[in-house]
Structure 1
Amino acid sequence: MMWVLLIALGLAAVPFTIELTRKGMTDAERAKAPGQSALLSQGTTHFEWLGPERGPVAVCVHGLTTPSFVWYGMARGLALLGFRVLVYDLYGRGFSDRVRGAQTAEFFEQQLVDLLAHERVTEPVTLLGYSMGGAIAAHFTARYPAHVKQLILLAPAGMVELTGGKLALARDVPVLGDWLFLATYPWILRRGISQEAGQPSSVDDIHELQHAETARRGFFPAVLSSLRGVLRNTCDQQHRAIGAAGVPVLAIWGEEDDVIPLSSKETLAHWNPMAQQSVIAGAGHGLTHTHTDAVLDLIRASRG
């Protein structure tokens, strides 16, 4: 029976072994990346400035699994609107450090606070948040409303609680949840990326870039940590606070989004009746790069 136990333990160790054998982020690889890197209080953050050297600052916060390159098409459009655009990789993604610890809202807030201080951005910014980035942006805006001129949310997370299913089990159960997540989620994510490969995108080679991201050590643990942290609860208190503070909000939803349900539009209206909201027909969850022009048109209109 001992050999049966050893085989079982060996099989159980496979997801963790695969994760450990993935290529880690190195300084040499980071040096080849576009943009710059800064050592902040929690680790090294990769970032890029796009657009004119002068102009109102727009800061873009990406989502759970796709790093800052998801903003490249949007950034070009925002630059044409006159914005000086700052995009950056959240910890655990892209060329930023794989930082250990819980990826809570406070964790990501501190990364943004540090980056803005490092880049000496003192004026109020237009803050854009996509998917999980929408939850991060909401937390930041609720805590620092005077620092945000306008909050733009694109298919934002934080509207409904994740209940039931493998992801909820992985989130809520230590050790076993880690194993379940590492054993199943990489395949689920890669399959989803492959299924979207035929869609038009304002970001060149985005699907190849997304697949490459899944091959980096620390990426999947970071995703799980975010599910257990910033994405664990809804952002109802934050959105109510943003409404009370009078920060202008534009929320844009994809009509066919299968990640963030369109019913979230009504939820946000309940939390913050002053929020301006629009739905893009035919758009799924990737509306940031699949329906870039439509998103930019709505942003342009919201500026009057």
Structure 2
Amino acid sequence: MSTGATAELVVGGRSVRYRDTGAGDTVVLVHGIGRSLEDWTEQHDLLSSDYRVISVDLPGFGWSDRLEGPTTLKRLSAWLPAFLDELGVTEPVHLLGNSLGGAVTMAFAAEHPERVRDLVLVNSAGFGREVALGLRLLALRPLTRVLLRPRRSSAARTLRGIFHDPSFSTEERVEQAYVLAQRPREAMLEMGRDLGTVRGVREGWRRDLLARLAEQDLPTLVVWGARDLILPAVHLEAAKTALPHARTHLFLDTGHMPQIEQAEAFAELVRDFYRG
């Protein structure tokens, strides 16, 4: 087990970057599109005193190798069991997913409910069509390749869209986002086309996935930031309708990543959910 730094693991012949801290019941953290496991740094620090906390760069994102063949929601969610198996995690886990990571964890739970204790969905994809223009443009291949050219100014603009409080768009985070933007982006483009069009997130996969999840009545907490500019907070109301058994929480004056912007309150909310 890693004690704080990231480590590498080979899954299906391809290198995967992950972080593994703490001890106890296992919590698995899954990041959003175009992002990396660094989005969970604060939660590693806050939750590892009581839990084994694992975050991972999904295949084709961060510093993990791509899958062989196209990157899709179905293939990412099917990859998670193999990753956990390689780590020796066979017991049911607590799953947390932010943005795309929410959709990945929902799909994993729908397919492998016996491996999931509960779900925490953080500003998760899957509850509505509306999504930021930049992500809708992923469906337009020639234009997107121009827009995704790495620039520090673009990295700073992305962070301003993620965080409501501008103090979180630090120089360190801008530099990190700029370095990340220089990594291969093909998986991001493939995911954008798999999940949506220029008009927004596709309805078909959302409807089918939520119907399967609702049937399972899995303990679920849905969390949102009221000032999310990526996936609007109105999706929280849609989540209440789609998953009537779920607990919900809205963080005021918070953007797309409550796990960072409201780190301590978020961790306490998760702990309370687990205790419940």
Q: Give the TM-score normalised by structure 1.
A: 0.78
Residue 33 of structure 2: aligned partner: 64
User: Hey, what's the Cα distance between the residues in 1 that align with 2:229 and 2:126?
Assistant: 15
Aligned residues: 261
Given the alignment of the two structures, is residue 184 of structure 1 paired with residue 147 of structure 2, yes or no?
A: yes
User: Hey, what's the Cα distance between the residues in 2 that align with 1:152 and 1:68?
Assistant: 16
Partner of 1:101, secondary structure, is coil
Given the alignment of the two structures, is residue 160 of structure 1 paired with residue 128 of structure 2, yes or no?
A: yes
Residue 214 of structure 1: aligned partner: 181
User: Hey, what's the Cα distance between the residues in 1 that align with 2:6 and 2:67?
Assistant: 20
Residue 5 of structure 1: aligned partner: none
Q: Note the C-alpha offset of 1:92.
A: 1.7
User: Hey, what's the Cα distance between the residues in 1 that align with 2:245 and 2:127?
Assistant: 16
Q: Which runs of 5+ in 2 are unaligned?
A: none
The one-character-per-residue Cα deviations of 1:243-285 (angstroms, maximum 9, x if unpaired) are 3212100010001111111111111111110010000011101
1:180 partner letter: L
The answer to whether the 8 Å contact 1:70/1:206 transfers is no
Q: Quickly say closer, same or farther: Cα 1:205–1:131, change in 2 above 3 A.
A: same
1:131 partner letter: S
The answer to whether the 8 Å contact 2:148/2:181 transfers is no
Given the alignment of the two structures, is residue 127 of structure 1 paired with residue 95 of structure 2, yes or no?
A: yes
Residue 111 of structure 1: aligned partner: 79
Q: Quickly say closer, same or farther: Cα 1:43–1:61, change in 2 above 3 A.
A: same
1:137 partner letter: T
Q: Quickly say closer, same or farther: Cα 1:278–1:169, change in 2 above 3 A.
A: closer
Q: Which runs of 5+ in 1 are unaligned?
A: 1-32, 172-176
Which of the numbers 268, 272, 275 marks the counterpart of 1:297? 268
1:182 partner letter: R
User: Hey, what's the Cα distance between the residues in 2 that align with 1:163 and 1:59?
Assistant: 25
The answer to whether the 8 Å contact 1:249/1:275 transfers is yes
Give 1:1-304 correspondences, 5 Å limit: 34-41=5-12, 43-52=14-23, 55-80=24-49, 82-99=50-67, 101-161=69-129, 167-168=135-136, 170-171=138-139, 177-186=140-149, 189-193=154-158, 195=160, 198-200=166-168, 205-216=172-183, 218=184, 220-230=185-195, 233=202, 234-302=205-273, 303-304=275-276
The one-character-per-residue Cα deviations of 1:40-62 (angstroms, maximum 9, x if unpaired) are 1262211121113xx10000001
The one-character-per-residue Cα deviations of 1:96-116 (angstroms, maximum 9, x if unpaired) are 113453211221113211111
Partner of 1:86, secondary structure, is strand
1:145 partner letter: P
The answer to whether the 8 Å contact 1:92/1:99 transfers is yes
Q: Quickly say closer, same or farther: Cα 1:85–1:245, change in 2 above 3 A.
A: same
Identical-residue share of aligned pairs (%): 25
The answer to whether the 8 Å contact 1:193/1:211 transfers is no
Of structures 1 and 2, the larger Rg is shown by 1
Q: Quickly say closer, same or farther: Cα 1:191–1:207, change in 2 above 3 A.
A: closer
1:190 partner letter: A
User: Hey, what's the Cα distance between the residues in 1 that align with 2:34 and 2:55?
Assistant: 15
User: Hey, what's the Cα distance between the residues in 2 that align with 1:73 and 1:164?
Assistant: 25
Q: Give the TM-score normalised by structure 2.
A: 0.85
The answer to whether the 8 Å contact 2:10/2:16 transfers is yes
1:205 partner letter: E
**Range 84-93 or range 238-247, more displaced:** 238-247
